[in-house]
Amino acid sequence: MMNKSCLFCKIVEGTVPSDKVYETKEVFAFRDIHPKAPVHILIVPKIHLTSLAEIHEKNVTILNPLFLAAVHLAKENGILDRGFRTVFNCNPEGGQMVYHLHLHLLGGRPLGGAMGA
């Protein structure tokens, strides 16, 4: 479940501090330490999965609460109607740096046409 060497597991546990914005039984959300937009929140499952590449038929439901949290947080941060972007970076060429599955929620400025976070 937990991975002792994983930064985001430590953030979920509280042994590494974070700017927490939301928590449920299943997910934990905190502000990105290097925000790329006025709103830049990371939403992670409490269970350790390395990336989207580990998703399969039996565990795909773990994604539902991440998207529910994204909509909740978009509303709470006033960007639901203005617009926002959700991004999973996966593996090296997808630009993934931290290997604990996380959904980026970005908004608060025009994000342009680029797909990158």
Binding site for ligand AMP (CB under 6 A): 7, 18, 30, 32-34, 42, 89, 95-98
Contact call for residues 47 and 80 (beta carbons, < 8 A): no
**Binding segment for Zn ion among 32-40, 59-67, 83-91, 98-106 (CB under 5 A)?**
98-106
Judged by CB, which is closer to ligand AMP: 15, or 112?
Answer: 15
Judged by CB, which is closer to ligand AMP: 57, or 62?
Answer: 62
| Partner whose footprint covers residue 3, from Zn ion, ligand AMP, none (CB < 5 to 8 Å by kind) | Zn ion
The string of DSSP codes covering 21-88 is EEE-SSEEEEE-SS-SSSEEEEEEESS----GGG--TTTGGGGHHHHHHHHHHHHHTT-TTT-EEEE-
Instruction: Indicate left, alpha or beta for 33 from its phi (over 0: left) and psi (-120 to 50: alpha).
Output: alpha
- Residue among 48, 100, 102, 104 flagged as catalytic: 102
* Residue 102 touching Zn ion (CB under 5 A): no
Amino acid at 6: C
**Binding segment for Zn ion among 3-11, 54-62, 72-80, 101-109 (CB under 5 A)?**
3-11
CB count in 10 Å sphere of residue 78? 12
Is 102 catalytic? The answer is: yes
| Partner whose footprint covers residue 85, from Zn ion, ligand AMP, none (CB < 5 to 8 Å by kind) | none
- Residues classed as catalytic: 102
